[in-house]
Amino acid sequence: MSTIKTNDGTELYYNDWGTGQPVVFSHGWPLSADAFEDQMFFLASRGYRCIGLDRRGHGRSSQPWQGNDLDAYADDLAELVEKLDLKNAIHVGHSTGGGEVARYIGRHGTKRVAKAILIGAIPPLMLKTEANPAGLPMAVFDQLRVGVAVDRSQFFKELSLPFYGYNRPGAKISDGVRESFWLQGMMAGFPASYFCIKAFSETDLTEDLKRFDIPTLVLHGDDDQIVPIADSALLSSKIIKGAKLVVYEGAPHGMCTTLKDRVNAELLAFLKA
């Protein structure tokens, strides 16, 4: 297994496929690097080195009680980049992973970064506040915490439906995709499953987005039921200087899976541009 040990002793697992310019993938909650397997295999087959990190507490990484916040996630990503000595890297973040990429750039700059891609990403802020009146109320995130605490196995099974838009009329449901979502969710430790909710909902990434000085692509589905587009991509694409926004009509949160061919082609075109 490919692993690194962070400064606080956390062991992080990562996939490392192919050779060429590095493309680093940061996954969403409660998943693992496997959520990006379609994109990683596609790009690795086309001359890129694809690296997918299992965030601390998720997937095959160890499950520390501490550090389940975006500062630690960003610092872990920085340690991976530095230990592998990645240069001119393209960072791809989905959902919470998009917040991880934003905080990484906010804390560590872009000296090793060539481009960034945010897909269904949480920035700038999901929670409704006085400064962010269009956000989601705290009750929404409290409900997620209750679901994890009461029966997280059943909760993850049910969450897979809106995640992939399988609760929409006429949706073509893949039981295999739902089972993969559940399996990845159950591989996450209980602390990460619970504490990461606060991390992705309450972290204001506005100032981090202002530090982006590299070409950035923002992809989002306008039927995203997990990270509503009005609270995220429509705002972040305006904050990031020169960002390119592409809206997928009718697409769900998990569009890297349900619309993988379109997403893969979009990523490849942006990487080559």
149 Rama sector, left if φ>0, alpha if ψ -120 to 50, beta otherwise: alpha
Q: Which fold has domain 3-272?
A: Rossmann fold (3.40.50)
Has residue 269 got a pLDDT over 80? yes
Q: How confident is the model at residue 1 (pLDDT cuts 50, 70, 90)?
A: confident
pLDDT in tens, 64-96: 999 999 999 999 999 999 999 999 999 999 999
pLDDT in tens, 150-162: 999 999 999 999 9
Q: Long-range pairs for 152-157 at CB < 8 Å and ≥24 separation?
A: 152/185, 152/186, 152/190, 152/193, 153/182, 153/186, 156/30, 156/181, 156/182, 156/185, 156/186, 157/182
According to DSSP, residue 136 is labeled: B
Q: For residue 210, what is the enclosing H or E element?
A: none
Verdict on whether the full-model pTM lies above 0.85: yes
Distance CA 108, CA 147 (A): 34
pLDDT in tens, 122-132: 999 999 999 99
Distance CA 1, CA 34 (A): 14
Q: What percent of the chain has pLDDT over 70?
A: 100
- Name the residues annotated as catalytic: 95, 224, 253
Q: Where are the domains of the chain?
A: 3-272
Has residue 272 got a pLDDT over 80? yes
How many residues are present in the chain?
A: 273
